[in-house]
Copies of this chain bind each other. A is one copy, B any other.
């Protein structure tokens, strides 16, 4: 179905520098992400359904349909959204695999959702019934519009992967969206949702249905935010991004998921309405956020209290919040900006966030998840209860489910639709942004079918071999991203000729023949990474990275110790790589307790040298039982004895 007018992708802007390719244009056939997609499809989706049933969040719809929900509803006020994200995940997975059993499950869930919809299109199990708060009575915290947003996203995913399917989801979504427009339109309630999300969803729904009323409603929601309509809360108005209008803000702030979802929706509105000012504002916010408020993992959100960004440079590894869903939101935002501008920095952040946040959340078996993704764990975690939902931010081991369980479904929908973030096209050819073994096939606007296949062991192997699978007499362009971290050492080989390339985009404009090859070689030797001096919390530390992967020191790899706190890295020896293991030379120091931990003299730290301390890929930590871990490693001071 390559080149079809209907692209199976979550975001389809009508204009922008690049056009997305969908999951039917791009196939991931092996490697790091294919493994995870497979686990997601085979284990995670069933795991999610199991918990949605057992916690009664799906059952809420049945009780609502039977008119007996009153008093029996289970779950938090936003639990409906998990069903919709589950539907979205299944829609992508069905589109990806054609799994018939999943198709049946999908339809069964849609039926139960549809049965709970009210005659006027309103659909939410938490409001409006006898014994419940009235509809729209708690916009700040009720998440009603947020839930509708996820319903629309599910319907969009389905419409783009199974156009014309007779499951009824698109109708349910349309009636819910119409109800929102009727209720919150220019003459309706002058309100907005405490949790952004519906903005991007409404724009996408407008794109999917061709009905601009939804776009207009999204624009209205974007414009309403930032004027204090949501009231004052202990966390401050910035929690909801209601402290200042989107077009006046200069950085993402407040609740990190909300901030990213809102900014993504604002880009959508700006693109469709050619609102250059709004777009420029978000671009600026993104740039400042990435430069000053983002963890080395790509994670965003420093604070537990309000799941929020800190001020500039406040990036403590301790209890870093770095919510999985904020990572998903950051991918959504960066992808939209990439489509608009084509700037590879957006794809750089997507890559970093996918490998180090989104891939970190699920356990290897796809049946437990991190909600937060701390960069420093000081005490051994306790094994979570497998029989009941965990508290969301225990930052301990991965848990099967949470009382607030937004992350598992967000991971599932992202994993299932991941191919949609790999490549784009423009009038002149194809652009590869992420490197996965697979195939990309597309019909250019002038009707030419172009296709390539990619062979690579990336991210562990830096060689990316792109083979042209189509023949064409006219030239077209193939563009490859050289990641921002590949500052030196990258080369590209075309037609037998190798040349060095720097970070950015390289474009080869040629008359390509089937069998032609472009080989991009990226320097994936492990390397030290130093923080900006303004990140106070990691002064005197280094991180170790390998390609796009952040590495970590985990106590299970340290001989004889549950703690990772007493190792100091010898930066005179670069990290070494042998047999797939990255190791460091460290010095183990022992501190001694005093009555009072502040002294008149710095205490020199010396100790035994450990020659080969192994690191773990950050996404894979905490898969071997309780452990302590740190990403930022203190640098050993030069040994006074070495000074001569």
* Residues of chain B lying within 8 A (CB to CB) of residue A292: 593, 597
B597 & A531 in contact (Cβ 8 Å cutoff): yes
Interface code A118-144, partner B: CB below 8 Å = 1, 0 otherwise? 000000000000000000000000000
Q: How large is the interface on A (under 10, 10 to 19, 20 to 34, 35 or more residues)?
A: 35 or more
CA distance A317 to B533 in the complex (A): 16
Contact of A598 among B304, B391, B532, B540 (CB under 8 A): B532
Whether A600 touches B529, Cβ cut-off 8 Å, given contacts A234-B391, A539-B634, A595-B484, is yes
Contact of A529 among B305, B316, B599 (CB under 8 A): B599
* Residues of chain B lying within 8 A (CB to CB) of residue A313: 378, 565, 597
A527 within 8 A of B: yes
Copies of this chain, tallied across the complex: 2
What distance in Å separates the Cβ of A529 from its nearest Cβ neighbour in chain B? 5
Give the nearest-CB partner of A378 in chain B.
B311
CA distance A392 to B319 in the complex (A): 22
Give the nearest-CB partner of A235 in chain B.
B391
A residues 85-101 with Cβ under 8 Å of B? none
CA distance A538 to B602 in the complex (A): 12
What distance in Å separates the Cβ of A121 from its nearest Cβ neighbour in chain B? 35
Contact of A530 among B236, B319, B378, B601 (CB under 8 A): B601
Interface code A217-237, partner B: CB below 8 Å = 1, 0 otherwise? 000000000000000001010
A528 & B600 in contact (Cβ 8 Å cutoff): yes
A318 & B318 in contact (Cβ 8 Å cutoff): no
A303 within 8 A of B: yes
What distance in Å separates the Cβ of A238 from its nearest Cβ neighbour in chain B? 12
B589 & A533 in contact (Cβ 8 Å cutoff): yes
Contact of A484 among B348, B596, B602 (CB under 8 A): B596
A312 & B378 in contact (Cβ 8 Å cutoff): yes
What distance in Å separates the Cβ of A522 from its nearest Cβ neighbour in chain B? 14
* Residues of chain B lying within 8 A (CB to CB) of residue A378: 311-314
* Residues of chain B lying within 8 A (CB to CB) of residue A540: 539-540
What distance in Å separates the Cβ of A489 from its nearest Cβ neighbour in chain B? 11
CA distance A345 to B594 in the complex (A): 12
A residues 612-635 with Cβ under 8 Å of B? 634
A541 within 8 A of B: yes
Which of A303, A318, A379, A531: most chain B CB closer than 10 A?
A318
CA distance A600 to B599 in the complex (A): 33
Whether A603 touches B529, Cβ cut-off 8 Å, given contacts A290-B596, A378-B312, A593-B291, is no
A543 within 8 A of B: yes
Contact of A603 among B304, B317, B532, B537 (CB under 8 A): B532
What distance in Å separates the Cβ of A628 from its nearest Cβ neighbour in chain B? 10
What distance in Å separates the Cβ of A183 from its nearest Cβ neighbour in chain B? 32
A398 within 8 A of B: no
B534 & A565 in contact (Cβ 8 Å cutoff): yes
* Residues of chain B lying within 8 A (CB to CB) of residue A305: 303-305
Whether A597 touches B528, Cβ cut-off 8 Å, given contacts A312-B378, A313-B565, is no
A536 within 8 A of B: yes
Give the nearest-CB partner of A311 in chain B.
B378
Contact of A597 among B291, B376, B537, B595 (CB under 8 A): B291
Whether A598 touches B565, Cβ cut-off 8 Å, given contacts A316-B318, A539-B540, is no
A595 & B312 in contact (Cβ 8 Å cutoff): no
A531 & B593 in contact (Cβ 8 Å cutoff): no
* Residues of chain B lying within 8 A (CB to CB) of residue A345: 595-596
Sample of 14 more A-B contacts, CB < 8 Å, known A311-B379, A529-B598: A291-B593, A291-B594, A291-B597, A303-B304, A314-B318, A317-B536, A318-B537, A530-B599, A531-B598, A532-B603, A533-B589, A534-B597, A537-B537, A543-B598
Interface residues of A (CB under 8 A from B): 234, 236, 287, 290-292, 294, 296, 303-305, 310-314, 316-319, 345, 348, 376, 378-379, 391, 484, 487, 527-541, 543, 565, 589, 591, 593-603, 605, 634
For this complex, 9 residue pairs linking A to B, each with C-beta atoms less than 8 Å apart, are A291-B595, A296-B598, A484-B596, A529-B600, A533-B603, A533-B634, A537-B537, A539-B540, A540-B540
